[in-house]
Chain A
Amino acid sequence: MSRITAEARVLRLEDVAPDDGLRAVSEGRGDVPARGVERAAANDARRVLGLANISLAFGGVTALRDVSLDVAEGEIRAIIGPNGAGKSSLLNVVSGLYQPDRGQIRFGEHAFRRVPTAKLAAHGVARTFQNLALFKGLSVFDNVLMGLAHRVSAGFLRQIVGSPHARRIDAENRAAVEEVVSFLHLSDVRERIAGTLPYGLQKRVELARALVARPRLLLLDEPFAGVTLSEKQELSEHVRNARDRFGTTILLIEHDIGLVMGLSDRVAVLDYGRKIADGTPDQVRADQTVIDAYLGVAHEDETELAT
Chain B
Amino acid sequence: MTTIISSKRSFFFPEIVATCLIAVVAIGAVPLVGSDYLMDAVLTPFLALALAAVGLNLLTGYAGQVSLGSAAFLAVGAYAAYNFSLRLPALPLLLDLVLAGTIAAAVGIMFGLPSLRLRGFYLAVSTLAAQFFVQWALTKFGWFSNDNPSGVIDAPVLRIGSVTFTSAAGRYLFSLGVVTVATLLTLRLLRSQTGRNFIAVRDHEVAAKVIGVPVLRTKLLAFGLSSFLIGVAGVLWAFAYLRTVEPAGFNLDRSFQILFIIIIGGLASLRGAFVGAAFIVVFPLLLSRVGAALLGSLFDSGVLEMSQRIVIGTLIITFLIAEPRGLIALWDRGWARLRAASGKAIET
Residues of A within 8 A of B (CB): 95, 97, 117-122, 126-127, 129, 133-138, 142, 145-147, 149-150, 152, 154, 156, 159-160, 162, 166, 170, 209
Contact status B212-A122, CB under 8 Å = yes
A149 and B203 in contact, given A137-B268, A156-B221, A160-B188 (Cβ under 8 angstroms)? no
Contact status A209-B204, CB under 8 Å = no
Contact status B199-A135, CB under 8 Å = yes
Within 8 A of A (CB), among B179-199: 185, 188-189, 192-194, 196-197, 199
Q: Is B214 in the interface zone, CB < 8 Å from A?
A: yes
With a cutoff of 8 Å between Cβ atoms, the chain A residues found around residue B123 in the complex are: none
Contact status A138-B200, CB under 8 Å = yes
Q: For the complex, what is the distance from the CA of A150 to the CA of B209, rounded to whole Å?
A: 10
User: How many residues from B make CB contacts under 8 Å with A?
Assistant: 26
Task: State how many angstroms separate the Cβ of A111 from the closest Cβ of chain B.
Answer: 20
Residues of B within 8 A of A (CB): 185, 188-189, 192-194, 196-197, 199-200, 202-204, 206-215, 221, 225, 268
Please, which residue of chain A has its CB at the minimum distance from the CB of B8?
Answer: A191
Please, which residue of chain B has its CB at the minimum distance from the CB of A129?
Answer: B207
Q: For the complex, what is the distance from the CA of A144 to the CA of B31, rounded to whole Å?
A: 47
Contact status B210-A120, CB under 8 Å = yes
Main secondary structure of the interface of B (DSSP, over half): helix
Top 7 A-B pairs, shortest CB-CB distance: A150-B212, A121-B212, A133-B207, A159-B192, A135-B203, A152-B193, A156-B194
Q: A97-B210, A117-B209, A138-B200 are in contact. List 8 more A-B contacts (CB 8 A).
A: A117-B210, A122-B212, A133-B204, A133-B206, A136-B204, A138-B203, A156-B225, A159-B194
Q: For the complex, what is the distance from the CA of A299 to the CA of B20, rounded to whole Å?
A: 76
Q: For the complex, what is the distance from the CA of A209 to the CA of B212, rounded to whole Å?
A: 12
Contact status B225-A118, CB under 8 Å = no
Contact status A121-B211, CB under 8 Å = yes
Task: State how many angstroms separate the Cβ of A59 from the closest Cβ of chain B.
Answer: 22
Task: State how many angstroms separate the Cβ of B150 from the closest Cβ of chain A.
Answer: 39
7 residue pairs of the A-B complex, CB under 8 angstroms, read A95-B210, A126-B210, A134-B203, A138-B203, A146-B196, A146-B208, A154-B193
With a cutoff of 8 Å between Cβ atoms, the chain B residues found around residue A152 in the complex are: 193
Task: State how many angstroms separate the Cβ of B99 from the closest Cβ of chain A.
Answer: 16
